Amino acid sequence: MSRQELLSPEGLRVDGRRANELRRISCRASVLNSADGSSYYEQGNTKVLVAVYGPREPRTKSLAQHDHAAVNVEFNVAPFSTSERRKRSKGDKRLLEIASFVKQTFQGAIQTAVYPRSQIDIYIHLLQHDGGTLETCINAATLALVDAGISMVDYVCACTAGFIDETPVLDLNFVEESSIETPDLTVAVLPRSGNIALLQMESRLHSSKLEDVLELATEGCKHIHKKLDQAVLEAANELAKKLS
């Protein structure tokens, strides 16, 4: 089987983007009534729904910590999210891994010390899968947490970048991601300080190339930050107008 061409000689990718272009992002906060905060987030064809409950009384006493809130993340993939229908069990290691990544990422950003003896639940549902699961989950969760009015030091913005034919490429889709030769790096940053909250890669990449790829991904994060901030401001302005 011949190798699929991921980057044409003209510098275009399989979906027609250039190497440094993000997919189209559209997002909305406050989409659910019963949750304290919620968001719907699309990045290209990857679609995620997030509900945040809390800070609230911990479901079990053992979770209560006297000096900070416990953060609980659950990640679920809809059976219809891929072209091949597939039901995953709740204990699927892949799902638990992503949930724990999201949890680790937000533990640094949420001011958990403000909410002692409480619990913050983040429920993430992947509705449609087209690559970049972790980045979309983190971005959507940020939006839902801000919507819930939970104190955070900063937004957390995540982006992926890969390396195809000696060129760093931004925001891989499913086709690019599943090619074996493409290393794919996910980075989550706190845009104000530029601190990195998460850096994850499962494939091999020459160390001299890492810096370029990381820089491109960070650039993507800044772009996503603008998008998220815009969505939050829009929602806030609307609410403030109604309240006044």
**Site of interaction with other proteins (CB under 8 A):** 30, 33, 36-37, 54-57, 66, 69, 111, 115-118, 146-155, 190-192, 229, 232-233, 235-237, 239-240, 242-243
Q: How far is the CB of 70 from other proteins (least distance, A)?
A: 12
Amino acid identity of residue 141, one-letter, is: A
Nearer to other proteins, 11 or 116 (CB): 116
Q: How far is the CB of 221 from other proteins (least distance, A)?
A: 13
211 CA to centre of own chain: 21
- Please, which residues have CB within 8 angstroms of residue 54's CB and are 6 or more apart in sequence? 36, 69, 115, 118, 119, 120, 121, 148, 150
Nearer to other proteins, 92 or 108 (CB): 108
Nearer to other proteins, 72 or 179 (CB): 72
Nearer to other proteins, 183 or 191 (CB): 191
The DSSP annotation for 213-234 comes to: HHHHHHHHHHHHHHHHHHHHHH
Q: How far is the CB of 115 from other proteins (least distance, A)?
A: 5
Phi (first) and psi of residue 56, to 5 degrees: -140, 170
User: Under a CB-based contact definition with an 8 Å cutoff, are residues 210 and 60 in contact?
Assistant: no
56 CA to centre of own chain: 24
Nearer to other proteins, 36 or 135 (CB): 36
Q: How far is the CB of 35 from other proteins (least distance, A)?
A: 11
Q: How far is the CB of 138 from other proteins (least distance, A)?
A: 15
